[in-house]
Chain A
Amino acid sequence: MSFILNPYRYAAPSSILTNLVSYWQLEEASGTRFDYHGTNDLTDNNTVTQATGKLGNAAQFTAANSESLTRADNASLSTGDIDFCFWAWVYLDTKTGVMIVLTKNNSATVREFLLRYNNGPDRFEFLIYDSGGNIVGTATANTFGSPSTATWYFLYAYHDSVNNLVGISVNNGTVDTGATTGAPADTAAAFRIGSTATASFWNGRIDSVGFKKAPLLTSGELATLFNSGSASEYPWS
């Protein structure tokens, strides 16, 4: 007697799911954006709309309308001096000013981390802060360089608590790192996609955002998420 195993039926869960906190597909047309993995559904502020995404649909942010998505602080979204990482597909309608992809930020003194486009150096950046809101780590995507408008980019940003580094890469390319110079803080700041508490509103689209509390993603996991520029969808198995 012999057995034939169905490899699809018995496919192992993706390692990307291990220690995954939240994943927002951002498929919704309006209102609440649901967390497809965890419990951090996002509140819509000022009517974030919808546009064609990298995978399916994306959240379309209009900076002039002060649009954003938010979730109140809670233990699952809090970081501090631990390993954590984010990834997201982003699309710039314009390159006007500083524009926030995601952050935990209530003010200049109560903030935790921030992933943004900065029109000063014309780069994507990832920053983390101490308990006073001071920057204690910056990674700038200099290797990738200047992004274009109307183009999808895959951003990956992380904090490495063992080696005291922050890092950022674009389109699964070379990671640019920066050393941390202080203790990253866990604060009461709310989690936000598309702005700080009051400003720096994203003007464009954001799609498929993941947040994981774990050591760095492996090259294989990053390759799965980037999928040669085509992206891949939860649960990645």
Chain B
Amino acid sequence: MPNLLDEITTRLGAQWGYLTQAQEAYRAAHGAYYQGAWTHTEAPTGGAEVAPDLDSHPLGQQATWRDVGGLPTTMAARLRIDTYDGPHGAGYVVVMQTRLDGVLWERRVNVGAETERESEWRPLFGEDAEEGGD
């Protein structure tokens, strides 16, 4: 795994507490975790720090990253939050993507009961890289 991915993991770790606190506050106020749209249209490349789009939000959910908080001012990986609510309880997955040497890398960090949703940094190829797989 490229060292830069370790570096991005370290940077996320420094921010992690803010993100999870923001999620718990949002859930306390709204009864569900915040679903976050991609912070960047494209994954940052080569470790470049790029400011996130704080105004992005999913359709039908008015709250933006600006409302929820928990993000750094610049990021070397784009991020989105997938929420879930199932038989074993509610949770969310923080999905991160960054592009290094032309390869799209992705890591998923799960917070909640469905631990099988977690995955370490892995390169995405072919249909996975195209968000396909159907």
The interface of chain A, by Cβ under 8 A from chain B, is 30-32, 41-47, 49, 62, 64-66, 70, 72, 98, 100, 103, 105-108, 111, 114, 116, 196-200
B82 touches A107 (CB 8 A): no
Contact B87 A43 (CB under 8 A): yes
Q: Are A46 and B83 in contact (CB under 8 A)?
A: yes
> Do residues A32 and B58 form an inter-chain contact, with CB atoms below 8 A?
no
Indicate the size class of the contact surface on chain B: 20 to 34
The reply to whether B60 and A62 form a contact with Cβ atoms under 8 Å apart is yes
Task: State the Cβ distance, B117 to closest chain A Cβ, in Å.
Answer: 9
**Measured between alpha carbons, how far is A84 from B85 in the docked complex, in Å?**
28
Q: CB-nearest residue of chain A relative to B113?
A: A43
Is B121 in contact with chain A by the CB < 8 A criterion?
Answer: no
Report the stretch among B43-51, B71-79, B125-133 that lies at the interface. Answer: B125-133
Residues of chain B whose beta carbon lies under 8 Å from any beta carbon of chain A: 32, 35, 58-61, 82-88, 90, 114, 116, 126-128, 130-134
**Contact status B134-A45, CB under 8 Å:** no
CB distance from B53 to the nearest CB of A (A): 15
Instruction: Find out whether the CB atom of B134 lies under 8 angstroms from the CB atom of A41.
Output: no
A98 near B134 with CB under 8 A, answer yes
* Interchain CB contact under 8 A, A116 and B83: no
- Residue of A32, A103, A198, A200 near B85 (CB, 8 A) is A32
